[in-house]
Chain A
Amino acid sequence: KNEVEQSPQNLTAQEGEFITINCSYSVGISALHWLQQHPGGGIVSLFMLSSGKKKHGRLIATINIQEKHSSLHITASHPRDSAVYICAVEWNDKIIFGKGTRLHILP
């Protein structure tokens, strides 16, 4: 069983829709990351969270430490948001990655 579970695995939505990607984890963590991987493979770090909520442009990330759950939201989604979104947690000096959510935004 993977310590980090993401849902959904795949998501297709229309441009403009509000997107939510979820991440649940089973270990006690010191921080959680949301990463974006583009089709060519390049990875961009979006957020690092240890509590509460962070916002950057149209992206919002929240974390609930008690419930061991984090969400990544995209408002007013755009085709250029199409990518794989990866949740990763820091635990015992290691980083454990989820399998990613493949997001496809249709124009």
Chain B
Amino acid sequence: ETGVTQTPRHLVMGMTNKKSLKCEQHLGHNAMYWYKQSAKKPLELMFVYNFKEQTENNSVPSRFSPECPNSSHLFLHLHTLQPEDSALYLCASSQGGELGYGYTFGSGTRLTVV
């Protein structure tokens, strides 16, 4: 266990469903991130939250909606996804707003859109 917990570990959803991914950290970190990892592609940054404020949205489609209610929790709300959105979604956190320092990843949620 890395200190960053993601649930669920696996998710299968239809294109008309609405679901949410959850990420939780109790490391005292103030920055949290969502990454997408598709097959045979590098990790892609989706969203960054620093001190609960969204500081980056990396041209992500609106069918992905992040929410950060406090510095320990991060959600990714999903609706009307496409099969090409099937991927591993990774959450990470880091100390303060300094990218990379104390960077810790969760184990990911394997999402399959059918």
Contact = CB atoms under 8 A, between A and B. Distances in A.
Contacts of A67: none
Given A41-B88, A43-B90, A48-B100, 16 more contacts: A33-B103, A35-B105, A42-B106, A42-B108, A43-B92, A43-B108, A44-B105, A45-B104, A48-B101, A48-B103, A94-B99, A96-B42, A97-B42, A98-B42, A99-B41, A99-B42
B42 A94 contact: no
Interface residues of A, number: 23
A40 B2 contact: no
B1 to A, nearest CB: 10
Nearest to A33: B100
Contacts of A2: 42
A95 B101 CA distance: 12
Contacts of A31: 100
A26 B100 CA distance: 19
Contacts of A97: 42-43
14 contacts: A41-B37, A41-B108, A43-B92, A43-B108, A48-B100, A86-B42, A88-B43, A94-B99, A95-B100, A96-B42, A97-B42, A98-B42, A99-B40, A100-B42
